[in-house]
Amino acid sequence: MESKRKTKNKSWLIVIGSLIFLTGIGLISYDYLSNKKIDDQETTMLEDFYEVEEEIESIEEPQEIEEVKEQVKVNYIAVLKIPKIGLERGLVDPNSYLNNVNYNLEWLDGSSMPDQENGNVIIAGHSGSARISYFRKLDKLVLGDEASIIYNGKTYNYKVVDIYDIEKTGKAEIVKEKNTTTLTLITCRHNTNRQIVVIFKQFWFCTIFIFLYNDIIFNEVLICNDSLIIQKVK
């Protein structure tokens, strides 16, 4: 009798253990499939964004740009890229409910848009190990590292000029030089009362084209960030 009871108890333990194991496998599978679905959606949104950006590169009129964006429903209005830490992340409209660090990277209040001359683009993001911790490697950046923002058919390039590791107080005082265009990225140090503030300054990629005829210069063209700056015809 005692032997049968032990066997029965052992069988129940095996059943319970199997159920716990299968539940764990199910939760892991669900988490994996959910993340894969989100990754696929984000990949599609990035592809849609780049499709529109390619189309509006040569358009000058703001109204025409908006018409193109309406034809292809684009969720992202810009993309932030930081090659050093492998970041390529879309940014939504500042007025969208998704413009929140709990969903995505966030344009903070007071941020300029990338095309504003002498402005300061301010973006915040989470660090840590969660899926939304897009700035988890921000502390790996050093002076001179580069970032870029693609916005309205143009690419804006930046280099790190200052890095601050400060106490987290709920606000950060940002001081910028006059007549400079900057990008400020902010994140918290995971499990600490500190935050990282990385300041970038905009720089230009410039190429000069010199056209010769019989060894005489007859045309000079200066192109910076894919825009014609100076053209001299002699």
Give the model confidence (pLDDT) of 115-147 as tens digits.
998 999 999 999 887 778 899 999 999 999 999
Q: What is the pLDDT of residue 228?
A: 47
Distance CA 122, CA 110 (A): 8
pTM score of the predicted model: 0.66
For residue 205, how many other CB atoms are within 10 A of its CB? 11
Give the model confidence (pLDDT) of 71-115 as tens digits.
445 578 899 999 999 999 999 999 988 899 988 999 999 899 999
**Percent with pLDDT over 90 in the chain:** 32
Tokens read off for 11: 């069988």
For residue 161, how many other CB atoms are within 10 A of its CB? 16
Does the pLDDT at position 60 exceed 60? no
Our CA angle for 53, 56, 60, nearest 5°, is: 140
Does the pLDDT at position 34 exceed 60? no
Q: Of the candidates 69, 110, 107, which has an alpha carbon nearest to the alpha carbon of residue 89?
A: 107
Domain ranges of the chain: 76-203, 205-234
Quote the CATH superfamily of domain 76-203. Sortase (2.40.260.10)
